[in-house]
Structure 1
């Protein structure tokens, strides 16, 4: 079995698990938009880690617990959709890379905004430097 074979299995599992999750689970803990971001299959194909992104973020921890609770049911559903000799056990994990990317992009945007404000002669907090200077002159 090659790494190309692993990639094919991971791709098939990703689509099948996503299809099952799109139809929804009968678990009130699972709320929001659940997206399967990637699947990693163990070298012996006995286990597969399914990484999920859940929005809004406030539902993520509770939703992933509901999904983990339904893992055996999801496995049976996926097994009926794919043609694999041996269906791996599914382990679900919360993928926080999108959150981290958003935080990094936010920090970059904030830095760019400050740089632009400084080049324009305005501090990043939005106040006009002339206003502050005038008020100091009036008090002296």
Structure 2
């Protein structure tokens, strides 16, 4: 039962943060930013917020800007949600889209896959009698 409650809280925090991030006035927080997931601890003290940025070159600056605006976002999140305590926000880069694209590329083109150790690609093991 508690996990269902945490799941609902994760969804609400994700929805509210997605609406709040465009209001951040930090110049580093620009471009298309998506909140891909939120993991709130059961005691509601901390939340890991997974962020995906369309422009990969500026993703580090966006994360720095969001971390500096975490206090503002937490305050606004506390006003929007009726929770006993508002969790501290920790912003993390979500690279699942890049991993998925790489897996799709490997499925489409098998030559993309490289052996783990190309020097020992054809090792023949001797069988002991």
Report the TM-score range of the alignment, normalised by the length of the smaller protein: 0.7 to 0.9
Q: What is the TM-score normalised by the length of structure 2?
A: 0.80
Distance 2:63 2:27 in 1: 12
Distance 2:59 2:13 in 1: 21
The 5 A counterparts of 1:1-140 are 2-21=2-21, 23-111=22-110
Distance 2:12 2:69 in 1: 20
Structure 1 residues not aligned, in runs of 5+: 113-140
Distance 1:65 1:108 in 2: 35
- Equivalenced residue count is 111
Structure 2 residues not aligned, in runs of 5+: 112-129
Considering only CA atoms, is the larger Rg found in Structure 1 or Structure 2? Answer: 1
Give the CA RMSD over aligned residues. Answer: 1.5
Distance 2:103 2:58 in 1: 22
Distance 2:77 2:42 in 1: 20
Which has the higher mean CA deviation after the structures are superposed, 63-72 or 99-108? 99-108
